[in-house]
Structure 1
Amino acid sequence: MDTTILKVTEGGMNNYFKVVEEVFEQKRIKNRFEIQKGSNYFHLSSQLIAADFELGVLSTNFYNNIVVDRIANERPDYYHFNMIKEGKIMQDYDNEEKTAEAGTNKGVFVYNGGFPLKSNIPANQDYKAIVFKVSKQAIAEIMPEALPIIETLFENDEPTAYHTQLPIEMERLLTELYEFNSGIFGKNTMVLSRGLELFTMLLNSIKQLLEKDELHGLHIDDYNRLLLIKKEMLDNIEGKINVEEIAKQFAISKSKLQRDFKTLFDISVYQFFAQAKMDEAYRRLKTGKFTVMQVGYDLGYNSIPKFSIMFKKNKGINPSDVIPG
């Protein structure tokens, strides 16, 4: 399947409009860009709330995969608050892919533009998302009480990203925003009204999560370290792991390692390693070159029945059933 690539320097909505105009060879009309090909479409619009404060609204169901390849910018004080209303995207930070999807704990994505980011919107999928693009100065002027939240999220303007879930009470407002965005009379004012309400509620939700220590972001250095930790575990798949030793090896506390690993991979360190062992076991058994006993012992299991139970729990079938007949 073909892929449409939108390569854009992170920043305001104008950067995005320029790219889609060039790629789709069609001009926007004021603050809206719309392309329709049969049942497939790509709609992008924006509203200027204040200087350095914009609301972007995207609706698409396209016949190609759409990859938005964002280049890091030079404005660490410029922030992006994404809310997915419908569908999912695959996000890639430094070659590590994660799924962000509506209705999950990855439905809201908050970051500054200090690191490269790719988002892949699968073809033939209804996808709807809004984004607030706002500078620290704009927040200081419009909502100064929110500055401590921003300064906590992006301490020293370091490149950082967060995922969280869209609070259920905001889903109705998001639905109404999309309804108004496709209307005629009073469209702009109603979209702005719902947008400001959503932004305020989102910041309040983030504030509550921070107070309960339930929101954890990752600095780009944390991403890179976790990728090295993941590689280290996969390179030693036949052995056992000790989280304290791994933490010491990579100069990180055990609690931070466990928290950051869960944040990035959505799974604990031990669960990841056990799952990786089962993936490797499946691969080896599928070749037909190894017995269940050989694979179990080679992957560090002292008990083959225990290995078989773990394999079936993870893969849904017995390990002997994988071996070609």
Structure 2
Amino acid sequence: MSRIDFDDSQSTDISAVFSFIPFKENNNVKQPLPAELGEGYVTTVHLGPSMDVMIHSYRLSVNLNGVKKRGEGQKDNVVFSFRSVFTESIAGNTAEPNTAVSLLPSVQISTGDMEIDFSFPVNTMINTIILTVHKSLLLELIDGNDAKILLQTLIAQDKPFLYEEFISPAIHDIAAKILKPEVTGELSTFYYRIRCEELILMFFVEFLKRKSLGNYILNPQDVKAVYRVRDKIISNLTAPPQLSSIAEFSGMSESKLNRIFKQIFGNPIYNYHQKFRIHEAAEMLKGGKMTVSEVGYKLGFTNLSHFSKLFKRYMGEKPKRFSRK
């Protein structure tokens, strides 16, 4: 099976994989993915001196593993990665539906100089919008005293940061409009810029629900360990996580693990597990092939009334009403 790995003897920047894209020379054009990587395309749109967007839509035919290295001169850029935001695949997928691996529907925000590991197995469906914005533009977009104070604290940090949030229905809706733009031709760049600003807005609507951002200094090893913990606890959504065994698995103390996990994901480990269960339930209900009770029991809820209350807390409405949409 084909595999692409990066090590210290090679360029470890993931942009090297996409060096086939003539970024500003071929603006707003679908660039087919090289056959050795998979099938689908990447589109880049230059939205001005302080904002760029890349739309990734493809299925990988290789395992892709490596590290996004700290970019030179990227310290003042903020990167928003909206993953699995499309409600339908826009890649040329010839694989059987049950062989495709989907990424978690989430939004990851980080500084451009944050080092992040990546690992995508063969057949992964990549439906992602990557938005790069200069900090100065973000400050211009911020409005409101409370929001301004919190976000200025975020943007003014003189150290790499990384946070992650679940994707909201509003973000899904905006992503659909980016996927199928309502305006083309000479005004298309203007259109994309407005939609990208909407994505930023709806991300911060969710992000500002956090009471604090945390200020623990992140290093690549800790980030990698916390994401391995996240993957472990969501691998079995029917069983609540046991903090002592998870801390041992991570190689951290319980207090350090809790602190970094909450800083990145905005929730303690147990709460995140519960929230993820509900978001998984929502995805299952969207398929329309399972009843509310079937979804609840499949995810380990023995009390459907409790399941309904949790669902409403996180999704804003009861699962029956959600499923009818």
TM-score (norm 1): 0.54
1:133 CA displacement: 0.8
Structure-2 separation of matches of 1:142 and 1:179: 25
Contact 2:81–2:107 (Cα < 8 Å) also in 1: yes
Instruction: Give the letter for the 1:205 counterpart.
Output: E
1:73 CA displacement: 2.7
Which protein has the bigger strand share?
Answer: 1
C-alpha spacing 1:65/1:227, structure 2 compared with 1 (3 Å): closer
Q: How does 1:193-232 map to 2 (within 5 A)?
A: 193-207=194-208, 209-210=209-210, 212-213=211-212, 219-221=217-219, 224=222
Q: Any unmatched runs of 5+ in structure 2?
A: 88-100, 229-242, 274-299, 301-325
C-alpha spacing 1:218/1:44, structure 2 compared with 1 (3 Å): farther
Q: How does 1:65-214 map to 2 (within 5 A)?
A: 65-67=63-65, 69-74=67-72, 75-84=74-83, 85=85, 101-103=103-105, 107-143=106-142, 148-153=149-154, 156-180=157-181, 187-207=188-208, 209-210=209-210, 212-213=211-212
Task: Give the secondary-structure state (helix, strand or coil) at the position aligned to 2:33.
Answer: strand
Partner of 1:258: 258
- Residues 38-96 of structure 1 show CA distances to partners (whole Å, capped at 9, x for unaligned) of 99424222223332222221111121123463111344322111111159xxxxxxxxx
Q: Aligned residue pairs: how many?
A: 230
Contact 2:103–2:125 (Cα < 8 Å) also in 1: no
Report % sequence identity.
16
Q: Any unmatched runs of 5+ in structure 1?
A: 11-15, 88-98, 231-240, 272-312, 314-325
Partner of 2:286: none
Instruction: Give the letter for the 2:48 counterpart.
Output: A
Instruction: Give the letter for the 2:58 counterpart.
Output: T
Contact 1:86–1:101 (Cα < 8 Å) also in 2: no
Contact 2:33–2:39 (Cα < 8 Å) also in 1: yes
Structure-2 separation of matches of 1:40 and 1:160: 31
Larger radius of gyration: 1
Q: How does 1:288-307 map to 2 (within 5 A)?
A: none
Partner of 1:43: 41
- Residues 194-242 of structure 1 show CA distances to partners (whole Å, capped at 9, x for unaligned) of 22211222123222x22x45x66863249539959x9xxxxxxxxxx98
Structure-2 separation of matches of 1:125 and 1:184: 32
1:257 CA displacement: 4.6
User: What is the root-mean-square deviation in Å for CA atoms of aligned residues?
Assistant: 4.6
C-alpha spacing 1:159/1:138, structure 2 compared with 1 (3 Å): same
C-alpha spacing 1:63/1:217, structure 2 compared with 1 (3 Å): farther
C-alpha spacing 1:150/1:78, structure 2 compared with 1 (3 Å): farther
1:193 CA displacement: 2.7
Partner of 2:296: none
Partner of 1:30: 26
Instruction: Give the letter for the 1:260 counterpart.
Output: I
Contact 1:62–1:125 (Cα < 8 Å) also in 2: yes
C-alpha spacing 1:67/1:191, structure 2 compared with 1 (3 Å): farther
Structure-1 separation of matches of 2:182 and 2:169: 21
Contact 1:64–1:123 (Cα < 8 Å) also in 2: yes
Instruction: Give the letter for the 1:114 counterpart.
Output: D
Partner of 2:239: none
Q: Does 2:3 align with 1:3?
A: yes
C-alpha spacing 1:59/1:5, structure 2 compared with 1 (3 Å): farther
